[in-house]
């Protein structure tokens, strides 16, 4: 609990300062904006409550894109890492390509994906999955390779097959690495989903944020951003909890 006390106090202090600065008009003056463009935390909370059904409806759309896209990226990343571990040749060919692929701005490909896959959930899943794939695949591949060679020799002399060494030694060893990659992916996934929605969608928090931005509905825009942050934080916390439950030996 004490671990969370200081960050929570700092957050409360920041919100308090923001409230004072916004409600007194000081923040709007500082930014040279009209006061209605700079909502206070209380106004954002009020917008959150008043628009709860609209926000929940759109959050559900975005949440589905985030979770499904993340799971697809996770499965693909883990599968790819296992393939690279089992074949030295595949690793030599694809590991540098995988790292190099990060030079391609995947978000910029979003319009093309909309053209290819239409306006449904498909292109958003592809974008989220592509964004999640890299940190998971690289961390899992590094984790699988991090096994002490002596453990491999020991297992070979205890009649373990290649598959048994993978599942009994390498996979558990890689778990902390996989969770690190998954936590990074979980923080990227909401941004990827929102971007996908900006490029082409008719519902979702990204659509709401885009519309509110055009209508200068800043309080509701911040409320949507708060819901998105809550989704990202929840995913991060769930992954941290899962890691504590699963990786019990660290």
Partner 1 sequence: MVSVRAISHSYGELEAIDRLDLDLPAHGVLGLVGPSGCGKSTLLELIAGLQQPGAGEIEVDGARAPAERLARCAFMPQRDMLLPWLAAIDNAALALRNRGAGRGAARAEAGRLFEQFGLAGFERARPAELSGGMRQRVAFLRTLVAGKPLLALDEPFASLDAITRAEMQGWLARALAADPRTVVLVSHDVEEALYLADRVVVLSARPARVVEQLGAPAPRAADRDAAVTDPAFVAVRERAMAALHRGSQ
What residues line the site for partner 1 (CB under 8 A)? Answer: 148, 150-151, 153-161, 164, 168-169, 172, 248-249
Of residues 3 and 163, the one with the C-beta less far from partner 1: 163
Which of 36, 59, 62, 21 has its CA nearest to residue 223?
59
The CA distance from 76 to 101, in Å, is 15
The CA distance from 232 to 97, in Å, is 29
Please report how close the Cβ of residue 250 comes to partner 1 at its closest, in angstroms: 8
Please report how close the Cβ of residue 151 comes to partner 1 at its closest, in angstroms: 5
183: number of Cβ within 10 Å: 18
Contacts of residue 9, defined as CB under 8 A and 6 or more positions apart, other chains included, come to none
Please report how close the Cβ of residue 172 comes to partner 1 at its closest, in angstroms: 5
Contact at 8 Å (CB) between 167 and 144? Answer: no
Of residues 156 and 244, the one with the C-beta less far from partner 1: 156
Of residues 36 and 167, the one with the C-beta less far from partner 1: 167
Please report how close the Cβ of residue 164 comes to partner 1 at its closest, in angstroms: 5
Contact at 8 Å (CB) between 164 and 101? Answer: no
Please report how close the Cβ of residue 80 comes to partner 1 at its closest, in angstroms: 24
Of residues 31 and 158, the one with the C-beta less far from partner 1: 158
- What is the full DSSP assignment across 167-199? IIIIHHHHHHHHHHHHHHHHHHHHHHHHHHHHH
Of residues 159 and 202, the one with the C-beta less far from partner 1: 159
Q: What is the DSSP letter of 166?
A: I
Of residues 88 and 150, the one with the C-beta less far from partner 1: 150
Which of 131, 135, 115 has its CA nearest to residue 123?
115
Please report how close the Cβ of residue 124 comes to partner 1 at its closest, in angstroms: 36
The CA distance from 110 to 117, in Å, is 10
Of residues 53 and 248, the one with the C-beta less far from partner 1: 248
Residue recorded with tokens 């992916």: 185
Please report how close the Cβ of residue 185 comes to partner 1 at its closest, in angstroms: 23
The CA distance from 116 to 243, in Å, is 37
């Amino acid at each position: 609990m004490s671990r969370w006390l200081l960050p929570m106090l700092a957050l409360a202090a920041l919100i308090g300062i923001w409230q004072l600065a916004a409600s007194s008009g000081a923040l709007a003056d500082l930014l040279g904006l009209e006061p209605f463009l700079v909502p206070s935390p209380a106004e954002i909370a009020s917008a959150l409550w008043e628009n709860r059904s609209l926000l929940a409806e759109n959050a559900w759309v975005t949440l589905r894109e985030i979770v499904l896209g993340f799971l697809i990226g996770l499965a693909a990343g883990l599968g790819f890492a296992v393939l690279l571990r089992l074949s030295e040749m595949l690793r030599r060919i694809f590991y540098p390509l995988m790292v190099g692929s990060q030079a391609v701005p995947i978000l910029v490909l979003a319009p093309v994906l909309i053209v290819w896959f239409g306006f449904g959930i498909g292109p958003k899943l592809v974008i989220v999955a592509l964004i999640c794939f890299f940190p998971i695949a690289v961390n899992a591949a590094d984790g699988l390779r991090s096994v002490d060679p002596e453990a491999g020799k020991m297992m070979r002399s205890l009649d373990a097959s290649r598959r048994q060494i993978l599942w009994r030694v390498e996979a558990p060893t890689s778990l902390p690495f996989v969770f690190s990659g998954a936590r990074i992916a979980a923080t990227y996934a909401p941004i990827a989903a929102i971007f996908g929605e900006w490029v082409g969608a008719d519902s979702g928090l990204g659509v709401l944020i885009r519309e509110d931005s055009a209508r200068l509905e800043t309080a509701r825009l911040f409320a949507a951003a708060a819901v998105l942050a809550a989704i990202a934080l929840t995913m991060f916390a769930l992954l941290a909890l899962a890691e504590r439950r699963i990786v019990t030996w660290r």
